[in-house]
Amino acid sequence: MQNLSGRHAVITGGSSGIGLATARALGRRGARLTLMARRHELLDAAVTELAGLGVEATGRSVDVSDHPGVDAAFDAAVAERGPVDVLVCSAGLARPGYFEELDDEVFREMMEVDYFGTLWPIRAVVPSMIERRSGSIVGVSSGAGIIGVFGYTAYGPAKFAVRGLLEALRAEMAPYGIHVGCCFPPDVDTPQLAYENRFKPDETRAISGSIKPISADRVADCIVAGIDKERFALVPDRGTRLLAVGAGLAPRLITSVTDRAAAKARARRLARTDRDSPPL
């Protein structure tokens, strides 16, 4: 177990969901925290909550897709608390929908927030970590970054890109003693999931099935354990572990199962449409 007491940890998306849960988990270990997110009011509430738990934390409002803004936020955080020892990139956005119905801007936004919003913070901390020959970087991908999922033509590619970035970065950082990890959570019970559920196609819901979303705390515990053990693939639930194994060993089996679930959901949707349509 690493000694995280007094270490400077930056968490993007730290005002809610997985980010805030990770902040709590790192704070319990004595880390000094800088939380980054867009909304001032949520950041203030998160910092107040953490202070009530005896955790030293500061909030900095920044849009992670804004490269100059990210650099400025990290410069300020380093000036205040010193070099970054741990970076957790959990800021992200999911917007499912049918490919042909999604606006072009949705595809751009997913890449800007989910991929570049992971890349820019990493770019900000890597030079110092290389110089010091230490540090830990964790990014959050998704189960949709393991296999392509119906309804996630905008979100999935961005999460595949996060995975690819971190896999390549792990190899490059290993000679410097820098840990790089990638977390692959399933559906997580967060405000982001509530937003996402508003747009999920029936087929996407059918593929998810009756699987109950896991808690953000469970994902956070997985991330912190991964930092402790310097693991790359951080998978917080059994279902996603099986998915990862299946995608590697039997990809046709996985796609046949998901295709059948989507086809059944589509048939039900079309039947409802026919039933509800007025007679000619």
Supply the residues annotated as catalytic.
141, 155, 159
Rounded Cα distance, 151 and 173, in Å: 34
Rounded Cα distance, 245 and 146, in Å: 10
Instruction: Determine how many CB atoms are found less than 10 A away from the CB of residue 75.
Output: 11
261's tokens: 């679930």
Rounded Cα distance, 1 and 227, in Å: 9
Q: Which residue matches tokens 């990770």? A: 22
| Full DSSP string of 78-96 | HHHH-S-SEEEE-------
- 3-class DSSP assignment, residue 136: strand
Beta bridge partners, 139, equal: 89, 182
Rounded Cα distance, 13 and 22, in Å: 10
Contact between 36 and 62 under an 8 Å Cβ cutoff? The reply is yes
Helices (H), the chain: 17-28, 40-52, 67-81, 104-110, 117-132, 155-173, 191-197, 202-208, 216-229, 238-249, 251-276
